[in-house]
Structure 1
Amino acid sequence: MIIATAEGFCNMKGYEKNMEYRCKRGYSGGLVEKYMRIPGRGAMLERGDRYEGVANASAVRCPHTCSRHMAFGNIVGKSVRRGLAAVFAFAALVLCGCGQQQELNERTVYALGTVCTISIYGEEALADEAEQLLYAIDQEMSWRRAESDISKINEGSGGFVEVSEDTFRVIARALEIGKASGGALDITAGVLTREWNISEDPHVPDRETIERGLELIDYSRVELDEETCSVKIGEGQFLDVGAVAKGYAADRLTLLFREGGVKSGLINLGGNVCVIGKRPDGRGYRTGIRDPEKGEGENFAVMTVKSDKTIVVSGAYERQFTENGVTYHHILDPKTGYPAESDVLSSVIVADSSMTADALSTAVFVMGADKGLALAEQTEGAEALVVTKSGTLRHTDGLYSECSIELVKGCRYVEEG
């Protein structure tokens, strides 16, 4: 067992301010009005009693990550059915043995392009409200939905477009991480994620298409008008907020549950895991971290975080396709237009905010271990662990003040130093 030995955070100024972005004219359109008051990534289990209560932070994804929510009977594909079965196992086992003094309420829904599970010890009405909130955010954030805020922004490129407070906050935070990462995270890279279309029709765009797209990728051209809750992108630009939307939804659910008096629970939005308190028996929630070089459900470590933390993992294994003998993954480098080629196999972020962790996990993967860990050190309320291609585990100084990590027997990875 690795024991927590370090502590402390560094700061990235402006985060707290921007989590409080609100439209001064009190806009409440788009989402259900009662959700506008709030300020502010296949679940599997390790075999055996030793790892009872372990969720997996790799994602259960529909083969069409198009942000549609569907009835489970209509979800096709063996991988998704296996994923759903695993999710139900996760929900049943991760909270088992926790006592009967509180009511366990669970929901498993399809939203934000993935399978989402909610397991809380709290009122059933809260779980119902959380489900509707997921659908509402889903309807605002997908560029594939014609009526979403993101689609309206993309269609209105060159002019300001009024959006919901949720969309405004997501874009504002993405731009902050974009600037801090030097463009390693860039939501205007949507112009090329659309062309690669890895979720529905994966293919390698021709060089001319990529070069045209690169000319349009520039987060600094996105303008925000806080007074009117409006967003403007440059002519021809195209936003994709997929790297931050799930994280934002997880943060909203966490706040909803805290305000509703929930003391214990777990949220898993396709691998964005949020821990609320501890299990009712006093033990911490444990999350399996997928081995990026092995198959689904194969973990290299089990992480136990402090209460009220989030874990987000990014890896090339999540979505891939092969063309002409070459395998491509879904995390694009905005500077090249091709899948990122850093020394990182997997990036794991432990943070206070799931939205920050979501964005940061992508940026760290693209930037590579040295620059990525430096970014994480500068980000308030966030710590990072990276698995490198050389087989080393590297981390920020404060990681073990926020969690403990137990490597799975036979793991080939070795902690640096």
Structure 2
Amino acid sequence: MRVLLVAFASLLALVGCEQSRQQVHLSGPTMGTSYNIKYISQDGLPSSDVVQAEVDRLLEEVNDQMSTYRPDSELSLFNQSTDLEPFEVSPQTALVVKEAIRLNGLTQGALDVTVGPLVNLWGFGPEARRDKVPSEEKLAARKAMTGIEHLSTEGNFIRKDIPDLYVDLSTIAKGWGVDVLAEYLNELGVADYMVEVGGEMRLKGLNRESIPWRIAIEKPTAEERSIQEIIEPGDMAVATSGDYRNYFERNGVRYSHIIDPQTGMPINNRVVSVTVIHPSSMTADGLATGLMVMGEEAGMAVAELENIPAMMIIKTDEGFVERVSSAYKSYQN
């Protein structure tokens, strides 16, 4: 589950309501979650009904391409196939898989979209069985079915070199959906917007009060919803990965939905959430998960090396501690 990000129209009543620009708000269900779009009305745009119809169509297209919950999606058909020959997919699916492979290298293997069999084994995927902790034998069998090195792309083809390889793009597909919608609004000429799908966001321009969009990042607590901090990302995307709501407990041990590809086990470090800022929501989405898997020291080292704006919230005996990369500091208020 992604941490909820909330767009603030304004933190202070700087202008009267009569001076506010007209804002259009569209929302609906998608990808097992919801989307929200806010944009400022301007001359020459289609009606909001026309925009929403196209938004819904575009999101359905993403689901038809990359959902693991739809048995006839492109990705599901690839996963069901045991053929080792190149498998043709849409240019969009090929692009997302290619980016996932790139991010795997950047995060030193931490982001791995082939861990689907392990996610399912632990009860966090389409199989949805959180009845018990899997045995070492089952864990080893599923782990043998994974590995990004078994996945490749060439043009509009993706290929596996082991028959049981299973690709799950859930760590990056919501971000891709945000990018698809943002690019549609760009094509329409929309100057000011906020697009959000399942907590992943992309922003452009100014809000209805003609000030930059401000984003509230949620504190990583399951008991209540409160604000950790507020940032001003500008014309960027924001994604947050957290493990404090999607988990299960057995015999006093908490098991996160985020899987470490190296161990095949849920992650076991002190990082409870990671927020990343990037021009692409897809890339921010994948990086947030990858850095979280890496943990505090290794993840922050990569963020510094690659100049990634990233914030980690770390659980300590004294409470939560915030740690940010150098590139992130300019976005803090």
Q: Distance in 2 between matches of 1:120 and 1:296?
A: 29
Q: Distance in 2 between matches of 1:116 and 1:107?
A: 8
Report the Cα offset of residue 43 of structure 1. Answer: 5.4
Match of 1:219 among 148, 165, 173: 148
Asked if the contact 1:360–1:376 (Cα under 8 Å) also holds between the matched residues in 2, the reply is no
The one-character-per-residue Cα deviations of 1:16-74 (angstroms, maximum 9, x if unpaired) are: xxxxxxxxxxxxxxxxxxxxxxxxx485869xxxx7647xxxxxxxxxxxxxxxxxxxx
Match of 1:317 among 240, 244, 267: 244
Q: Distance in 2 between matches of 1:221 and 1:160?
A: 12
Helix, strand or coil at the partner of 1:110 = strand
Match of 2:33 among 114, 121, 145: 114
TM-score normalized by the length of structure 2: 0.87
Q: How is 1:65-144 mapped onto 2 (pairs within 5 angstroms)?
A: 97=17, 99=19, 101-102=21-22, 104-122=23-41, 123=45, 124=48, 125-144=50-69
Report the CA distance shift for 1:101/1:202 in structure 2 as closer, same or farther (over 3 A).
same
Q: Tell me if 1:149 matches 2:149.
A: no
Asked if the contact 1:98–1:280 (Cα under 8 Å) also holds between the matched residues in 2, the reply is no
Report the CA distance shift for 1:117/1:349 in structure 2 as closer, same or farther (over 3 A).
same
Q: Distance in 1 between matches of 2:303 and 2:245?
A: 22
Q: Distance in 2 between matches of 1:98 and 1:343?
A: 47
Report the Cα offset of residue 374 of structure 1. Answer: 2.3
Q: How is 1:197-208 mapped onto 2 (pairs within 5 angstroms)?
A: 197-198=123-124, 200-203=128-131, 204-208=133-137
The one-character-per-residue Cα deviations of 1:229-256 (angstroms, maximum 9, x if unpaired) are: 1111122111100000011111111111
Q: Distance in 2 between matches of 1:120 and 1:290?
A: 23
Match of 2:270 among 323, 326, 343: 343
Partner of 1:272: 200
My pick for the range that moved more, 204-213 or 360-369, is 204-213
Asked if the contact 1:272–1:313 (Cα under 8 Å) also holds between the matched residues in 2, the reply is yes
Q: Distance in 1 between matches of 2:268 and 2:134?
A: 17
Unmatched runs of 5 consecutive residues or more in structure 2:
none
- Which amino acid in 1 is paired with 2:327? G
Q: How is 1:10-409 mapped onto 2 (pairs within 5 angstroms)?
A: 41=2, 53=10, 97=17, 99=19, 101-102=21-22, 104-122=23-41, 123=45, 124=48, 125-157=50-82, 158-198=84-124, 200-203=128-131, 204-226=133-155, 229-233=156-160, 234-306=162-234, 308-379=235-306, 382-390=308-316, 391-401=320-330, 403-405=331-333
Asked if the contact 2:145–2:165 (Cα under 8 Å) also holds between the matched residues in 1, the reply is yes
Asked if the contact 2:110–2:261 (Cα under 8 Å) also holds between the matched residues in 1, the reply is yes
Helix, strand or coil at the partner of 2:167 = coil
The one-character-per-residue Cα deviations of 1:104-134 (angstroms, maximum 9, x if unpaired) are: 3322211112111112224323333122111
Q: Distance in 2 between matches of 1:280 and 1:189?
A: 42
Report the Cα offset of residue 216 of structure 1. Answer: 2.4
Q: Distance in 1 between matches of 2:138 and 2:63?
A: 29
The one-character-per-residue Cα deviations of 1:120-154 (angstroms, maximum 9, x if unpaired) are: 22432333312211121012111121111111111
Asked if the contact 2:9–2:208 (Cα under 8 Å) also holds between the matched residues in 1, the reply is no
Q: Give the aligned length.
A: 315
Asked if the contact 1:290–1:301 (Cα under 8 Å) also holds between the matched residues in 2, the reply is yes
Report the CA distance shift for 1:326/1:257 in structure 2 as closer, same or farther (over 3 A).
same
Report the CA distance shift for 1:99/1:173 in structure 2 as closer, same or farther (over 3 A).
farther
Asked if the contact 2:240–2:288 (Cα under 8 Å) also holds between the matched residues in 1, the reply is yes
Unmatched runs of 5 consecutive residues or more in structure 1:
1-40, 55-95, 406-417
Report the Cα offset of residue 280 of structure 1. Answer: 3.5
Report the Cα offset of residue 323 of structure 1. Answer: 2.4
Report the Cα offset of residue 341 of structure 1. Answer: 1.1
Report the Cα offset of residue 201 of structure 1. Answer: 2.8
Report the Cα offset of residue 375 of structure 1. Answer: 2.1
Q: Distance in 2 between matches of 1:354 and 1:44?
A: 13
Q: Distance in 1 between matches of 2:3 and 2:77?
A: 32
Report the Cα offset of residue 296 of structure 1. Answer: 4.4
Q: Distance in 1 between matches of 2:100 and 2:5?
A: 30
Report the CA distance shift for 1:176/1:295 in structure 2 as closer, same or farther (over 3 A).
same
Q: Distance in 1 between matches of 2:251 and 2:274?
A: 28
Asked if the contact 1:45–1:53 (Cα under 8 Å) also holds between the matched residues in 2, the reply is no
The one-character-per-residue Cα deviations of 1:376-407 (angstroms, maximum 9, x if unpaired) are: 23446x41011112333221111122x124xx
Report the Cα offset of residue 193 of structure 1. Answer: 1.0
Report the Cα offset of residue 218 of structure 1. Answer: 1.1
Q: Distance in 2 between matches of 1:377 and 1:278?
A: 29
Report the Cα offset of residue 347 of structure 1. Answer: 0.5
Report the CA distance shift for 1:244/1:260 in structure 2 as closer, same or farther (over 3 A).
same
Q: Distance in 1 between matches of 2:287 and 2:18?
A: 33
